Amino acid sequence: MDNSLEQETILNGSSTSNYRLMQCPQLGRYLVATRDIKRGEAILKDQPLVTGPQKASNLLCPGCYQPTETNCLLCGWPMCSSSCTGVKNHEPECTFLRSRNDWNPSVDRDWNQLSDCLMVVRCILFKKTDQRKWKRMLEMEANWDKWTGSPLFATANEIEQIIRNEFGLTPTEFPKSEILVVQAILDINAYEVRMCDSNVQAVYTLASLAEHNCNPNTHKTICSMYRIFLFFNHFHPIDIHSPGAHISTTYCDILWPTWHRQKYLQWSKFFICKCERCLSPTELGSHLAAIVCMDCSKSRETVPAVPLLSENESWETIAKNYHCTTCNTIFPAYECQLTFKKAEHELSELDKDVSTESIPAFEVCLIKAKSKLSIQN
């Protein structure tokens, strides 16, 4: 273990047969294994503290997160049907809105805007409806100092104003500082739950304690009722042996190349990942972000010269120069980024209309990409 983690402490009452909750200044709270864990074995399971629609998603039923077709008969919120199976999820905001003397369920509103605020409102209402959940929410990492200096802070202030105007939460009962800190906690800790029609988000008080690694030793599965399981990864090269092996997951898409992961993690989680994969120009030999040499055209192993973001660089200047491992030619970062962006744009345009008729177009796109990108890219 790194010497910088020598000050770690065991948190009282936080040990199970599989893991122990630890704490240190560098990582905050994190999980370590307490015994040998077999490949494919479930390490932990967790129920969500709260679920809700993601910002800027399609308008979804607040109960089951399916497309809307009618309105709640009590508060007017768009629902999937009057017999929604997940109506219990909708009860907190429905009850609160109906308690307002000035709330009219028949008034037409910008429901997409209100839906963007719903996750925050559900968390804030814990203060009145469930003190145990409210306490558990506030115990989660907010990374307040860095979060308030990020672009996310400006968006959070806008949402706070919408919540005041549309939901009628008063500063006396719900101070601005509480609404903002809840948004910081959500930005840092919420998991994306992918669904057929749209994605939702969920907060897990235990699963959120697994630290990030771009080559994690667990994989997560989210099942019915949004329960999450962390399993020891079958394909991880290093076994989990006790005592003290850190339990890790990934906070971003594992198929993203290093520059993309670094940009996302610094922009949204406020740290620079220095895992073994991020330190490797070839991404542990996967060549996931490699391109074809634009000079000798022989090498498909043109990789970042220095893949890792330095402490004085920001996510806005994440691009790195590439060098060919065959002819050693250096290629400016902007040229390499342009290659990636063109390929991403073409694929995203095709993704808008996926059908059997679009297969030839995808094949043409792949042939074009093959001339510029590594086969593993």
Q: Using CA atoms, how far apart are residues 313 and 317, in angstroms rounded to an integer?
A: 7
Q: Are strands 211-212 and 218-222 parallel, antiparallel or unpaired?
A: unpaired
Residue among 96, 112, 98, 109 at smallest CA distance from 169: 96
- Secondary structure element (H or E) that encloses residue 218, with its range: strand 218-222
- State the pLDDT at residue 293: 84
Residue among 158, 201, 204 at smallest CA distance from 55: 201
- State the pLDDT at residue 94: 96
Helix then strand then coil, % of the chain, to nearest 5? 35, 20, 45
> Under a CB-based contact definition with an 8 Å cutoff, are residues 18 and 37 in contact?
yes
**Angle of CA points 326, 328, 329, to nearest 5°:** 115
> In Å, how far from its chain's centre is CA 46?
17
Q: Are strands 211-212 and 248-249 parallel, antiparallel or unpaired?
A: parallel
- State the pLDDT at residue 348: 81
Give CA separation, 309 vs 261, 313, 318, in Å.
Answer: 11, 6, 7
> Under a CB-based contact definition with an 8 Å cutoff, are residues 256 and 247 in contact?
no
Query: Could you write out the DSSP letters of every residue in 259-311?
Result: HHHHHHHHHHT------HHHH-TTTTTT-TT-B--TTTS--S-EEESS-SPPT
> Under a CB-based contact definition with an 8 Å cutoff, are residues 19 and 240 in contact?
no
Residue 165 token pair: 């105007």
Q: Which long-range contacts link 66-69 to residues 24+ away (Cβ below 8 Å)? A: 66/197, 67/197
> Under a CB-based contact definition with an 8 Å cutoff, are residues 215 and 276 in contact?
yes
DSSP three-state, residue 46: strand
Q: Using CA atoms, how far apart are residues 60 and 63, in angstroms rounded to an integer?
A: 9
Q: Say which residues have a Cβ less than 8 Å from residue 135's Cβ, sequence separation at least 6.
A: none
Give CA separation, 307 vs 113, 135, 291, 299, 343, in Å.
Answer: 39, 40, 14, 18, 20
Blockwise average pLDDT, block size 10, the chain, 377 residues: 42 63 87 86 92 91 94 95 90 94 91 96 96 96 94 95 93 96 97 83 94 93 87 69 82 88 90 90 87 74 72 58 85 83 83 78 85 79
Q: Are strands 78-79 and 19-24 parallel, antiparallel or unpaired?
A: unpaired
- State the pLDDT at residue 298: 62
Per-domain residue ranges of the chain = 3-47+204-249, 50-202, 258-370
**Phi (first) and psi of residue 152, to 5 degrees:** -65, -30
Q: Say which residues have a Cβ less than 8 Å from residue 25's Cβ, sequence separation at least 6.
A: 7
Cis-peptide into 151, omega within 30 deg: no
Q: Is the pTM of this model over 0.75?
A: yes
The architecture that CATH gives domain 3-47+204-249 is Beta Complex (2.170)
- State the pLDDT at residue 236: 65
